[in-house]
Amino acid sequence: MASGWRNTGECGRRTLRQGLPFCCIAIPVLNEERFIAGCLASLLANVPMEALEVLVLDGGSTDRTPEIVAAIATRDRRVRCVPNPGRNQAAAVNLAARIADPRATVLIRADAHCAYPGDFLATCLDALARTGATSVVVPISSVGRTGLQRAIAAAQNSRMGNGGSTHRLLPVSRFVDHAHHAAFDRAFFLALGGYDERFTPNEDAEYDRRAALAGGRAWGCAEAAVTYFPRETLPALARQYYNYGAGRARTIRRHRYWPRMRQMAPLLILVGCLGGLALTPFDARFALVPVAYAATCLLWAAAAAWRARDTWLLNAGIALMVMHLSWAVGLIFGMLARPGPGRAARLPMAFTGTES
């Protein structure tokens, strides 16, 4: 596969040419009228007509998303809009893996909230072939378009917000446990049963655990970093991180492993703050715990705002607290809840004894 690349001589960027494996790009959408056109434009740039198909899997949008996709499809026969009865992202990618063109040996997962560099497909395909990995994962960097969204992006991009996760910070390409999903060996993905749809929105991390048990390896491709547009309001951010925490809890329960310290930190923060508040009536010094935590977040935000000369970033401290505490609450409720409805994917046969 590596022989299919042509270097353009422009900053070392790669472009696609004839003779490469056929790819299917799966884009789950639900009310993404503000982002889908830009996402498609970034993915379709400089890709030959015969190289791929793009399936936009709509989970029941009530805005103009289907109309926008339909208009693009009339101009570009690579694009097709497909209903996604399962509604969520995991169901969408699974559906794409099943109905993709038989020629497609590589499945690309793309998100409408992202913008992709011009050499994204070429870089991911090159990494998949060169490393022998069963999937390629990439880091993401948040970018805000509005003031509050810039603050949320700053929080997500920081170690205070992401704990040093490879999902966000991947300075050098290497094999990793998990990061933002980009490209899959389609045959391996299908053989493993695809995503377990009960684990949305943590279906990607759950898949990576299963894939590792089956002998799969994920290559973290630092050169293919993508731009992510985060939630634009604090309530939406809280819902997102609550779901992240709940999804992570379900994955921990199924695979029975100890979470990393950066994943436990929000829970320790929540317990410490609640405990401090509860004990404050007995000794006012306990109030120092939640006060110190809030002060740390707000001082970090003030420093970020000063460095960027952007007063909106003062809100990044609040965004940090929303992210941490919502994730922790989601983790607690996720540990107590049963997996939701959806299509389950089994663990590899040699490891079925670890299912919960």
Task: Answer yes or no: is pLDDT of 28 > 60.
Answer: yes
What pLDDT score was predicted for residue 253? Answer: 87
| Per-residue pLDDT reduced to its tens digit, 101-158 | 999 999 999 999 999 998 899 899 999 999 999 999 999 999 999 999 999 999 999 9
What pLDDT score was predicted for residue 343? Answer: 67
| Per-residue pLDDT reduced to its tens digit, 77-109 | 899 999 999 999 999 999 999 999 999 999 999
Task: Answer yes or no: is pLDDT of 44 > 90.
Answer: no
Task: Answer yes or no: is pLDDT of 26 > 70.
Answer: yes
3-state secondary structure of 82: strand
Span of 2-11, 68-77, 205-214, 245-254 with lowest mean pLDDT: 2-11
Task: Answer yes or no: is pLDDT of 19 > 60.
Answer: no
Span of 44-53, 215-224, 239-248 with lowest mean pLDDT: 44-53
* Ordered strands of the 114-115 beta sheet: 114-115, 226-228, 140-142
d(CA 89, CA 200): 7
Of 125, 151, 154, give the one whose Cα is nearest residue 141. Answer: 154
User: What residues does 184 pair with on adjacent strands?
Assistant: 107, 135
d(CA 36, CA 31): 9
What pLDDT score was predicted for residue 7? Answer: 32
| Per-residue pLDDT reduced to its tens digit, 224-249 | 999 999 999 999 999 999 999 998 89
Of 57, 56, 47, 53, give the one whose Cα is nearest residue 103. Answer: 53
Task: Answer yes or no: is pLDDT of 256 > 90.
Answer: no
Task: Answer yes or no: is pLDDT of 6 > 70.
Answer: no
Residue type, 72: I
pLDDT greater at residue 346 or residue 319: 319
- Domains present along the chain, CATH in parentheses: 21-230 (3.90.550.10), 247-344+350-354 (no CATH)
d(CA 291, CA 295): 6
Angle at Cα 321 formed by Cα 87 and Cα 142, nearest 5°?
55
Sole residue written with tokens 């499945």:
107
Q: What is the mean pLDDT of residues 180-194?
A: 95
pTM, to two decimals = 0.85
Of 85, 76, 34, give the one whose Cα is nearest residue 51. Answer: 76
3-state secondary structure of 55: strand
What pLDDT score was predicted for residue 49? Answer: 61
> Which of left, alpha, beta for 107 (phi over 0: left; psi -120 to 50: alpha)?
beta
d(CA 189, CA 219): 15
